[in-house]
Amino acid sequence: MKGLLIDENLPLPTVLPTTLPIVHSRQSGAQPSDSFLWQHAIAHDLTIVTKDADLSERIQLSGPPPRIVHLRVGNMRRTDFIQWLYKQ
């Protein structure tokens, strides 16, 4: 794994406690589709970090790669999400 690809459903900037490069999906285009993110992650050996269940369901059907980190936290305000993220 060469880095993390942060899905658009997570706030920008999302800073994670890692030394890996982090790319936000918005850097790939206005609203990249799940298929685009999937192929981009495979091509660049990235792990997708998302709150979107669609990508988790897709990996169950297709199998890896790419790898998916599915954050199952429900809807919350951006500040609450960031606080939750750093408690982990």
Contact 48, 24 (CB under 8 A): no
pLDDT of residue 68: 92
Number of domains in the chain: 1
For residue 29, what pLDDT is reported? 66
For residue 41, the enclosing domain spans 3-87
62 vs 9: CA distance, rounded Å: 22
pLDDT at 88 over 60: no
The pair of three-digit structure tokens given for residue 18, joined into one six-digit string:
């890692």
pTM of the model: 0.81
Residue 46 pLDDT > 90, yes or no?
yes
Query: What pLDDT is recorded for position 27?
Result: 75
